[in-house]
Structures are given as C-alpha cells and as structure tokens.
C-alpha cells in the first residue's frame, strides 16, 4: 500500500475541523501484519491495539509551507513488540475513539525509511527533506 492521507482527515482539514498547528499530533508505529489500510478508517480505534507497537511524543517544530506538513524528527523509546513497517500520523485526544487518523505512511516507499524488529531500544524516525505529507 502506498502512503496516503486518510479521506476522513481530508474532509476535516477542508472544513477546518482539524487544526494541526494547535493539535497534539503524534505518530504510532504499526505492525503491517496486524493492520490493513482502509479509506473508511477515521480514528485510532480503527487500528487494532495489538498492531500498535509504539507511540511517539507530540511532534515538535511543526511547519506548514507550500501545502507541506513537516515536523522535527521523532523517536519511539524502549520499543518492544512485533516487526513494524507502518507509521500513522494522528491527532491525539487522549481517547482512541476520537483520535483522528491523518496520514498512513508506508515506510518502504514513504517519507521515512523504516522496517524494524523492536529489541527494547529506541527507534528514531528521520522525516524526508520533502516533509511528512503534502496536500
């Protein structure tokens, strides 16, 4: 699956329902064997909890230039669990059923290159120079 912005997130971005500049934006590391992208997915609760391997802190230094969303590189701390190949950017509300999915990033072809087998260490994500995603 190629990287994509979730259609429900696009709707909310176009209707001013999401303000990425003030929202708590995080990234979840996901095991591709436990999650399949769907255009119908809207919230973090659509991603099976067993497939969510690790969650980042809030993304810092967010920028919005020329329709491109970018942020400082991020990391996952002391990660254990299944091999992981997917990053999902989402707005964290503190509740999975209301935390809106924003972008699905296939780390083989997306703006970050990552396919890892967690071993208890940290996993660092370096975003590509072109940003995390573009509208």
Residue 111 · residue 11 · CB < 8 Å: no
- Cα–Cα distance between 89 and 124 in angstroms, integer? 15
Residue pLDDT tens, the chain, 135 long = 678 999 999 999 999 999 999 999 999 999 989 999 999 999 999 999 999 999 999 999 999 999 999 999 999 999 999 989 999 999 999 999 999 999 999 875 554 555 788 999 999 998 988 999 998
Instruction: Identify the pLDDT of residue 114.
Output: 59
Grouping H, G, I as helix, E, B as strand and the rest as coil, residue 19 is: coil
Q: CA of 56: how far to CAs of 15, 16, 17, 28, 30, in Å?
A: 27, 25, 23, 6, 12
Of 59, 61, 92, 91, give the one whose Cα is nearest residue 76: 59
- Cα–Cα distance between 29 and 80 in angstroms, integer? 11
pTM equals 0.93
- Cα–Cα distance between 121 and 101 in angstroms, integer? 26
- Cα–Cα distance between 83 and 120 in angstroms, integer? 12
Instruction: Identify the pLDDT of residue 106.
Output: 83
DSSP secondary structure string for all residues of 47-101: S-GGGEEEE-----S-EEETTEEE---EEE-S--SS-B-EEEEEE--SSTTT-BE
Instruction: Identify the pLDDT of residue 115.
Output: 72
């Amino acid at each position: 699956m190629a990287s994509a912005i979730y259609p429900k997130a696009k709707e909310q971005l176009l209707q001013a329902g999401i303000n990425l500049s003030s929202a708590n934006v995080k990234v979840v590391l996901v095991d591709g064997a436990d999650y399949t992208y769907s255009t119908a997915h809207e919230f973090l609760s659509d991603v099976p909890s067993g497939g969510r391997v690790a969650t980042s802190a809030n993304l810092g230094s967010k920028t919005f230039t020329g329709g491109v969303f970018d942020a400082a590189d991020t990391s996952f701390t002391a990660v254990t669990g299944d091999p992981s190949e997917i990053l999902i950017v989402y707005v964290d509300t503190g509740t999975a059923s209301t935390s809106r999915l924003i972008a699905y990033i296939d780390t083989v072809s997306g703006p970050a290159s990552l396919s890892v087998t967690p071993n208890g260490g940290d996993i660092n994500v370096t975003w590509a120079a072109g940003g995390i995603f573009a509208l």
